[in-house]
Structure 1
Amino acid sequence: MKKESVTHLTGEGNYAWLHYSDGRKHITAQTLKHLESVLPEYIRIHKSFLVNPAYIRKVKPFPHTLSGVVILVNGTELPVSRRRWPQVEDRLSRIRKGP
């Protein structure tokens, strides 16, 4: 797996789909929880989604809620859960500020 070209991962039970920037998909027999531990630079935005912050174009909050969507550079919209919204905002603001 060339992790730099993976835009996001989608979990399905004990399997995960890796979505690549060129549109390819690959399934792996690993859970998102495991992949989250080996890909610490990726952000868990939902129980079913792990996203590469390098491919996030925009974060769109929903009015009057603590949730929203991330929009990737290829136009894909992925939901951010209410539970994870504060961590996602925090991680992205730290990434954008830089070291």
Structure 2
Amino acid sequence: MAEMAEGDVKSFMVPMDKLMATMPMTSTGKPDADFLLMMIPHHQSAVEMAKVELEIGNDEKTKEMAQSMIDAQEAEIEDMRAMLKDMGIDTTSE
């Protein structure tokens, strides 16, 4: 998708493409684990998009929002990894 985008949109689409490539395609057999495993790359994509905003954005309020998103999403990713560990799901290969 990024290759079809133009201008700054292309910079934001690269993390989205990466997200799609890392999304799990097989089930663990545990719906809660599957949800978390799919949410981690979703959140990571948001972090990467927010980092692009910090690099190329001009509006300070938007950049502040991007930093808040990074902080919140990274904390949630760690929480999800801990939950998966408690379920016996290894996430070290991510």
**What is the TM-score normalised by the length of structure 2?**
0.29
| Structure with more contact order per residue of length (Cα contacts < 8 Å, sep ≥ 6) | 2
